[in-house]
Amino acid sequence: MTKSSILGYPRIGDNREWKKALEAFWAGKIEESEFQSRMQDIRLNHLRKLQEKGIELIPVNDFSYYDHVLDTAAMFGIVPKRFPYDGGPVPLSVYYGIARGTTDAAASEMTKWFNTNYHYIVPELDGAEPAVTENKPLAAYREAKERLGIEGKPVILGPLTFLKLSKGYDESETDAWLERLVPLYAQILRELALEGAEWVQIDEPILVTGLSDADIRRLHSIYGTFAAEAPTLNIMLQTYFEAVESYSDIVSLPVKGIGLDFVHGYAGNIRLIQASGFPQDKVLGAGVVDGRGIWKASLREKAALLEKLQSFVPADRIIVQSSCSLLHVPVTVSSETKLLPELKGALAFADEKLDELVLLTKAVSSGTDAIGKELDECDLAIRALERSKERNRNDVQQAVAAISKQDAKRSLPFAERHAVQQKKWQLPVLPTTTIGSFPQSVEVRKARQLWRKGEWSGEQYAGFIREQIDTWIGLQEEIGLDVLVHGEFERTDMVEFFGEKLAGFAFTQYGWVQSYGSRCVKPPIIFGDVAFEKPMTVEETQYAQSKTSRPVKGMLTGPITIMNWSFVREDISREQIAYQLAYALRQEVEALEKAGIGMIQVDEPAVREGLPLKEKDQAEYLAWAVKAFRLTTCTVQDTTQIHTHMCYCEFHDMIDSISAMDADVISIETSRSHGELIHSFEENTYGLGIGLGVYDIHSPRVPGVEEMTGMIDRALRVLDPKLFWINPDCGLKTRGMEETVASLRNMVEATKIAREKYAVQV
């Protein structure tokens, strides 16, 4: 009998109850017992919803108190040496210390989960002595069964993926580490089997990336051990985000099921099955509903796909499921009351995807006639959006077609621009700046709410924003920063702010998605053709510049980041969406320059997260991503200095593309992985202006002068002091005022020390 399933469900709750509980606990407003009680209520409510919706194979242990990768590390007692830990279950104080840092210890590195906007905490294996501290999947399985009568499907991050995502070991130690980890996994699985669990989902998304012969050998060893240790347990080896690599080896592993992504990996996976078939002794987890996108699935097309798959796999050996965890989409469309009807009708968030899966499972079991009405309603909803005027703007389409043919180059090469910019700005050696945003206090958020509710007039709100700018321009001057920013107090989010002012965007009221920890974002929806309507940032930036003789940077979010941090339409290519955004943002850059703003920062922190997982597809993406940035910035004068900001990436993978963006100055978020990036510069040259973040803004701790001096010294061993800038590693929006000022004072003091040391070299 065909069953329905998902790979995971959003943690945050319908109204972000999860986020609120975390932050109340961190702030000391609730005790641990109440916190645990709230977490359980949220967890059980999720399971109850899945049960009531009719999902038959319900995941458990997909819930987390912060991050599922951190959960896996904690389950095995893998705690960095700088945190106090003597074995046994990891206390919440240590768990959250690893994630967020403490007064005495820096947080672990945080980075993107494959090519998504979700961030995971990178496990640190150096010096760890792994052991099973608690069987979390077993506890989750018991809870679901005892409290709700659910025969759950425990979800576990697989050992090869866990190890590949970790740091603190040499690649030559891979087999030795697997020899330590695999018996611990086997213990987890044995205990689940003894408890009576039928299925367990082991996530190995690393299998959609390139696999070496050694990795294939390791997989056979790992899953051979699991089959021997827990022979009665049905293992669903789950992949997602792309087509699987080394298909014939993967499907020959001794597991009961193989989960494949037939959305983002459709072309590759369907080709593999058509060419090689599918094993007769295995169940296919058919990921046909998009776990990452928000658009209503074409039920007719998905039913046809499932029918195609049945020519290779009998219906009773198919599980109809999401392509990946629904962690990446909002909870429900039902709460949205302000969207255009044709847009709302074409959306499906997590709860609506559950309904789609149940309907598609019914179609497999009983034929498409059994869901004929729903098929027709779905077709009508999709066509209504396709025909909307927002998707058919000839003016935008023609203009973008024209500029996309341009070469998009600045009039002078960087070396010549740098000389004229230095003559204009007269900046000191090792100039200091920040990334853009300053703390959004309770007062700032309250003012925005009063304005949005209509209790404040636009002029009242604008006056309040000007007061905030006055305060922080004064503070920046007093601290001693060289290049200032206005602080972005009028902006809720670096993407949402621009989307609200551009045509082609829509915004949900409750469409929150977890980004990292308790940080939830509400991604805009790019549903139509994107167009510039009027200046978006000129007023506040021009006002800030009027209050100081020092340069104030204009602050924009770049086209690739806006695209990658939004839910985007699927009827045109991402490249075309990027060029539409670039054309709109170019008009804003030109408006800033016309208003007298001579430094303009176009942030692109999300370039790398859009990088395709398949190496063969990466060059094409990087080419048009770089072109989109250059289309945005190429029309400015030679004296106008273009800055950009990027989050840490494997720098050696992208150094040519980053250089090709031709920004005058790039700042890079590096503080949690500073050493690795410096190592990249030892192997690669970079000849443009650059600032490596010298302290971590994701942690509330105030770093000392000596700590930042060490960061600067390491960077200047391999980078030219004449081109080096000093800055925090990201925006300061989420930090408090006191810690921000203290950290920036220390940064400026560290800069003074560095200037004395390196001035003779310049």
Residues acting as catalytic residues: 698
Residue 669 annotated as lining a ligand binding site: yes
- Of the candidates 394, 392, 553, the one whose C-alpha atom is nearest the C-alpha of residue 487 is 553
CB 326 within 8 A of CB 6: yes
The whole-angstrom separation of Cα 77 and Cα 70 is 10
Residue 38 annotated as lining a ligand binding site: no
Residue 356 annotated as lining a ligand binding site: no
The whole-angstrom separation of Cα 705 and Cα 717 is 18
β-pair type (110-112, 119-121): antiparallel
- Indicate the DSSP class of residue 668: E
Length in residues, the chain:
762
Q: What share of the chain is helix, strand, coil (3-state, %, to 5)?
A: 50, 15, 40
Residue 707 annotated as lining a ligand binding site: no
Residue 446 annotated as lining a ligand binding site: no
Strand partners for 645: 667
CB 315 within 8 A of CB 263: no
Residues near 218 by beta carbon (within 8 Å), at least 6 away in sequence:
160, 174, 175, 178
Residue 565 annotated as lining a ligand binding site: yes
The CA distances from residue 512 to 9, 341, 491, in Å, are 13, 20, 17
First-to-last alpha carbon distance for the chain, in angstroms, is: 74
- The runs of H, that is alpha helices, within 527-573 are 538-546, 559-564
Residue 634 annotated as lining a ligand binding site: no
- The runs of H, that is alpha helices, within 88-148 are 92-100, 136-148
What 3-state class would DSSP assign to 98? helix
- Indicate the DSSP class of residue 427: P
Angle at 560 between CA 555 and CA 565, to 5 degrees: 85
- Interhelix angle 394-403/574-594, rounded to 10 degrees, is 80
CB 43 within 8 A of CB 359: no
**Dihedral, 391, 397, 401, 407 alpha carbons, nearest 10:** -90
What 3-state class would DSSP assign to 102? coil
Residue 377 annotated as lining a ligand binding site: no
Residue 435 annotated as lining a ligand binding site: yes
Residue 18 annotated as lining a ligand binding site: yes
Q: Transcribe 5-35 into DSSP letters.
A: E-S---SS-TTSHHHHHHHHHHTTSS-HHHH
The whole-angstrom separation of Cα 16 and Cα 10 is 10
- Of the candidates 652, 646, 658, the one whose C-alpha atom is nearest the C-alpha of residue 727 is 646
Residue 8 annotated as lining a ligand binding site: no
Residue 418 annotated as lining a ligand binding site: no
β-pair type (283-289, 110-112): unpaired
Q: Quick one: how many helices (H) and strands (E) in the chain?
A: 27, 21
The whole-angstrom separation of Cα 389 and Cα 381 is 15
The CA distances from residue 260 to 243, 250, 264, 283, 570, in Å, are 7, 11, 10, 11, 21
Cβ-count burial 133-156 (b if 16+ within 10 Å, e if not): bebbbbebbbbbbeeeebebbbbb
Strand (E) positions, 225-294?
234-238, 257-261, 283-289
Strand partners for 526: 505, 568
Residue 177 annotated as lining a ligand binding site: no
The CA distances from residue 270 to 60, 195, 221, 287, 288, in Å, are 29, 36, 27, 12, 11
Residue 436 annotated as lining a ligand binding site: yes
Residues near 179 by beta carbon (within 8 Å), at least 6 away in sequence:
none
Residue 519 annotated as lining a ligand binding site: yes
- Sheet with 502-506: list strands edge to edge: 502-506, 525-532, 567-568
The whole-angstrom separation of Cα 109 and Cα 86 is 22
Q: Assign residue 679 a region (left: φ > 0; alpha: ψ between -120 and 50; beta: otherwise).
A: alpha
Residue 378 annotated as lining a ligand binding site: no
What 3-state class would DSSP assign to 441? coil
What 3-state class would DSSP assign to 112? strand
Binding site members for L-methionine: 435-437, 488, 603
Binding site members: 16-19, 112, 435-437, 488, 519-520, 565, 603, 609, 645, 647, 669, 730
Binding site members for L-homocysteine: 435-437, 488, 603
Binding site members for Zn(2+): 645, 647, 669, 730
Binding site members for 5-methyltetrahydropteroyltri-L-glutamate: 16-19, 112, 519-520, 565, 609
